[in-house]
Amino acid sequence: MAATSNSNSKQPESHNRLQLARLLELYAKGSLTWRELSRLTGLAYGEILIELGKRRLALPRVAPKRRPVQDALFERALRGDE
């Protein structure tokens, strides 16, 4: 499926391909969410995965922030506290 930008649909296809490549790079680096990428390109999540694979780009890594409440829950679970 060819990606087109919703706001720039009249631009030449080569520009769209370059824009898609740049957006995919930003996504792979974690600078763009998949929802933002989908909104900008019209691609579904599965299509984004395919495009990443074609370019040998990795999925972005998510490193969620740990919260004290989570840490306490994990510690209780590991100790066997109820």
User: pLDDT (tens digit, 9 = 90+) per residue, 59-73?
Assistant: 888 777 788 888 888
Global pTM reads 0.60
Residue 81 banded pLDDT, cuts 50, 70, 90: low
Q: How far apart are the C-alpha atoms of 48 and 11, rounded to whole Å?
A: 21
Number of CB atoms found within 10 A of residue 49's CB: 13
Residue range 4-14: mean pLDDT, rounded:
53
Q: How far apart are the C-alpha atoms of 7 and 78, rounded to whole Å?
A: 51
52 pLDDT higher than 90: yes
